[in-house]
């Protein structure tokens, strides 16, 4: 498989995937107009014609047979055109020595603290391709290799808003206990409106004062900072790349917002530029994430490879997927954090 920039011809596949995601994946709405708009932004972004505030790099995962089975994206910078909201989970202490009372109350503060950061988003993989884990890792981690290659296009911190807890009927405990009191709509409708660009409008109706979580239901408190079961593999991958949860959550479903300094992302920190060589890496060679170092014609894949004397030895199939000949430059990093360079 390869990861490449999205094209307008991918629309049928993207719509099909968007309709199968369920509630909570706000950056992939089942709205053809919105997806077409994002595709247009993506094409401009890959051509270098978009400012960081508007840049939207969308990638698809494509099989050797040409079937599009996944999507992921990078937003150049969030919150520079319209406000970007999160709740910051803080702590309020109430104490009285005379009464012998000491209470620590987790508190939600509406914040714009993550404004200006680069965001990785829209990660979705067709269910048929989730079983081996390799496809998902390629789709997710390819974005970090792209950031490493074009570091000047992105902010000094990267964030990822993770999909929060909701059930099979698109019911979010966090929304039911908080958001529903301010909006006469279902969580799925609020989620959809957010996905088509109305997040700032909805957020304006949220309470601006600190909210004590003790007033939320026990079920709602239990999901704060947690992620949907379908998002747990993505959470594991992001943690392996250096991302951590620093207390910010989504304002609608309470899902964790992760963050990492760009320079500290493993794929950014450890990737190297090498000369491509075509040969036989060997049966014991580790899997590498490999980028052809192009932007508009970007192609990223995973293949067994062996690094030696400034060269990366891959087989002919991997070179063909990258559309490169021997002697071309590539950017590469071991797929697994546990492998490292040998």
- Catalytic residue positions, numbered: 228
| Residue 57 located in a structural domain | yes
pLDDT in tens, 250-300: 988 999 999 999 999 999 999 999 999 999 888 888 999 999 999 999 999
pLDDT(35) > 90 = no
Q: Verify that 261 and 292 share a domain, yes or no.
A: no
| Residue 23 located in a structural domain | yes
Q: Verify that 139 and 47 share a domain, yes or no.
A: yes
Q: Verify that 176 and 321 share a domain, yes or no.
A: no
pLDDT in tens, 100-122: 888 888 999 999 999 999 999 98
**How many separate domains does the chain show?**
2
Sign of CA dihedral 21, 26, 27, 30: positive
The DSSP code sequence of 94-123 is EEETTTTEEEEEEEEEEE-TTTT-EEEEEE
Higher pLDDT, 43 or 193: 43
pLDDT in tens, 295-314: 999 999 999 999 988 999 99
Q: Verify that 143 and 192 share a domain, yes or no.
A: yes
* Contact of 272 with 278, CB cutoff 8 Å: no
Q: What is the pLDDT of residue 95?
A: 80
Domain finish residue from 238, 265, 292: 265
Q: Verify that 168 and 298 share a domain, yes or no.
A: no
Domain finish residue from 231, 265, 299: 265
Q: What is the pLDDT of residue 197?
A: 60
* Contact of 242 with 260, CB cutoff 8 Å: yes
pLDDT in tens, 229-242: 888 888 999 999 99
pLDDT(187) > 70 = yes
pTM: 0.89
Point out which residues pair with 88 in neighbouring strands: 109, 248
pLDDT in tens, 117-167: 999 998 888 888 887 778 889 999 999 999 999 999 999 999 999 989 988
Q: What is the pLDDT of residue 304?
A: 93
Which residue from 227, 225, 263, 230 is spatially nearest to 246, judged by alpha carbons?
A: 225
pLDDT(206) > 90 = no
Q: Verify that 155 and 285 share a domain, yes or no.
A: no
Tokens of 131: 């079983």
| Residue 100 located in a structural domain | no
- Domain of residue 61 covers 2-85+112-265
**CATH code for position 308:** 2.40.40.20
| Residue 342 located in a structural domain | no
Domain finish residue from 250, 265, 280: 265
The DSSP code sequence of 311-330 is EEEE-HHHHHHHT--TT-EE
Q: What is the pLDDT of residue 24?
A: 45
């Amino acid at each position: 498989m390869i990861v490449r920039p999205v094209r307008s011809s991918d629309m049928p596949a993207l719509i099909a995937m968007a309709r199968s995601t369920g509630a909570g994946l706000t950056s992939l709405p089942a709205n053809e107009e919105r997806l077409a708009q994002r595709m247009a932004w993506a094409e401009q972004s890959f051509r270098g014609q978009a400012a960081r505030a508007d840049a939207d790099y969308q990638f698809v995962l494509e099989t050797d047979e040409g079937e599009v089975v996944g999507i992921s994206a990078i937003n150049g910078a969030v919150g520079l055109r319209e406000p970007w909201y999160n709740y910051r989970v803080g702590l309020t202490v109430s104490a009285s020595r005379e009464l012998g009372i000491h209470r620590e109350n987790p508190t939600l503060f509406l914040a714009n603290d993550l404004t200006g950061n680069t965001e990785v988003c829209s990660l979705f993989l067709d269910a048929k391709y989730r079983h081996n884990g390799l496809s998902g890792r390629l789709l997710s981690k390819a974005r970090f290799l792209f950031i490493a290659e074009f570091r000047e296009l992105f902010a000094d911190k990267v964030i990822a808003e993770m999909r929060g807890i909701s059930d099979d009927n698109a019911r979010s405990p966090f929304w039911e206990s908080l958001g529903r009191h301010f909006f006469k709509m279902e969580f799925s409708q609020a989620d959809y409106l957010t996905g088509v660009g109305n997040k700032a409008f909805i957020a304006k109706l949220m309470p601006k004062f600190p909210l004590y979580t003790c007033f939320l239901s026990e079920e709602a408190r239990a999901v704060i900072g947690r992620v949907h079961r379908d998002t747990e593999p993505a959470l594991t991958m992001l943690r392996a790349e250096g991302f951590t949860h620093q207390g910010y959550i989504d304002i609608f479903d309470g899902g964790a917002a992760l963050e990492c300094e760009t320079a500290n992302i493993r794929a950014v920190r450890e990737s190297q530029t090498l000369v491509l060589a075509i040969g036989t890496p060997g049966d014991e060679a580790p899997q590498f994430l490999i980028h052809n170092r192009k932007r508009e014609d970007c192609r990223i894949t995973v293949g067994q490879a062996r690094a030696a004397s400034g060269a990366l030895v891959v087989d002919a199939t991997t070179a063909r997927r990258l559309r490169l000949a021997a002697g071309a430059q590539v950017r590469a990093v071991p797929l697994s954090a546990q492998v490292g360079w040998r």
